[in-house]
Amino acid sequence: MLWIVSPEKIIKMSNDPLHGKSLKTIVEQLVDFYGFDTLGELINIKCFKENPSVKSSLTFLRKTDWARKKVEELYVRSLKKF
Protein backbone atom coordinates (compact mmCIF):
# COMPACT_ATOMS: atom_id res chain seq x y z
CA MET A 1 0.00 0.00 0.00
CA LEU A 2 1.37 3.40 -0.96
CA TRP A 3 0.34 6.58 0.81
CA ILE A 4 0.52 9.93 -0.94
CA VAL A 5 0.30 12.91 1.35
CA SER A 6 -0.60 16.36 0.17
CA PRO A 7 -1.56 19.39 2.24
CA GLU A 8 -5.24 18.83 1.43
CA LYS A 9 -5.61 15.10 1.80
CA ILE A 10 -4.03 11.70 2.23
CA ILE A 11 -4.58 9.29 -0.65
CA LYS A 12 -4.19 5.55 -0.23
CA MET A 13 -2.96 3.90 -3.44
CA SER A 14 -2.67 0.19 -4.11
CA ASN A 15 0.42 -1.43 -5.61
CA ASP A 16 -1.79 -4.21 -7.01
CA PRO A 17 -1.68 -3.99 -10.84
CA LEU A 18 -5.21 -5.46 -11.00
CA HIS A 19 -6.65 -2.78 -8.68
CA GLY A 20 -9.44 -0.93 -10.47
CA LYS A 21 -9.31 -3.15 -13.56
CA SER A 22 -12.48 -4.97 -14.52
CA LEU A 23 -12.30 -8.47 -15.93
CA LYS A 24 -13.76 -7.11 -19.15
CA THR A 25 -10.94 -4.56 -19.49
CA ILE A 26 -8.34 -7.24 -18.79
CA VAL A 27 -9.77 -9.66 -21.38
CA GLU A 28 -10.18 -6.91 -24.01
CA GLN A 29 -6.57 -5.76 -23.57
CA LEU A 30 -5.28 -9.32 -23.83
CA VAL A 31 -7.38 -10.01 -26.93
CA ASP A 32 -6.26 -6.75 -28.54
CA PHE A 33 -2.61 -7.54 -27.87
CA TYR A 34 -2.45 -11.31 -28.44
CA GLY A 35 -5.63 -12.24 -30.32
CA PHE A 36 -7.72 -15.28 -29.45
CA ASP A 37 -5.45 -17.72 -31.29
CA THR A 38 -2.40 -16.84 -29.21
CA LEU A 39 -4.45 -16.57 -26.01
CA GLY A 40 -5.68 -20.11 -26.65
CA GLU A 41 -2.06 -21.27 -26.93
CA LEU A 42 -0.92 -19.36 -23.82
CA ILE A 43 -3.90 -20.39 -21.70
CA ASN A 44 -5.41 -23.72 -22.68
CA ILE A 45 -9.10 -23.03 -22.09
CA LYS A 46 -11.95 -23.74 -24.46
CA CYS A 47 -13.44 -20.23 -24.38
CA PHE A 48 -10.32 -18.92 -26.18
CA LYS A 49 -10.16 -21.78 -28.69
CA GLU A 50 -13.65 -22.67 -29.87
CA ASN A 51 -15.85 -19.92 -31.28
CA PRO A 52 -14.23 -17.28 -29.02
CA SER A 53 -15.73 -13.95 -28.10
CA VAL A 54 -15.17 -11.51 -25.26
CA LYS A 55 -18.72 -12.08 -24.02
CA SER A 56 -18.47 -15.88 -23.86
CA SER A 57 -15.01 -15.65 -22.30
CA LEU A 58 -16.29 -13.31 -19.58
CA THR A 59 -19.19 -15.64 -18.82
CA PHE A 60 -16.82 -18.60 -18.39
CA LEU A 61 -14.15 -16.70 -16.46
CA ARG A 62 -16.64 -15.26 -13.98
CA LYS A 63 -17.77 -18.79 -13.10
CA THR A 64 -14.36 -20.49 -13.11
CA ASP A 65 -11.85 -19.21 -10.55
CA TRP A 66 -8.84 -21.21 -11.75
CA ALA A 67 -9.23 -19.92 -15.32
CA ARG A 68 -9.74 -16.34 -14.17
CA LYS A 69 -6.55 -16.59 -12.11
CA LYS A 70 -4.59 -17.76 -15.16
CA VAL A 71 -5.93 -14.82 -17.20
CA GLU A 72 -5.07 -12.35 -14.43
CA GLU A 73 -1.55 -13.81 -14.12
CA LEU A 74 -0.99 -13.47 -17.87
CA TYR A 75 -2.26 -9.89 -17.74
CA VAL A 76 0.20 -8.97 -14.96
CA ARG A 77 3.08 -10.63 -16.83
CA SER A 78 2.10 -8.80 -20.03
CA LEU A 79 1.72 -5.29 -18.61
CA LYS A 80 5.21 -4.22 -19.68
CA LYS A 81 4.44 -5.25 -23.26
CA PHE A 82 1.28 -3.17 -23.66
| Cα–Cα nearest to 68, from 37, 47, 41, 38 | 47
> So what's the pLDDT on residue 23?
98
Q: What is the pLDDT along the chain (82 residues), one digit of tens a residue?
A: 555 555 556 556 678 899 899 999 999 999 999 999 999 999 999 999 999 999 999 999 999 999 999 999 999 999 998 8
Where along the chain do its domains lie? 20-81
State how far the Cα of 18 lies from the Cα of 14, in Å rounded to an integer: 9
Q: What is the pTM of this model?
A: 0.82
**Thinking of the domain 20-81, which architecture would CATH place it in?**
Orthogonal Bundle (1.10)
For position 14, what pLDDT does the model report? 74
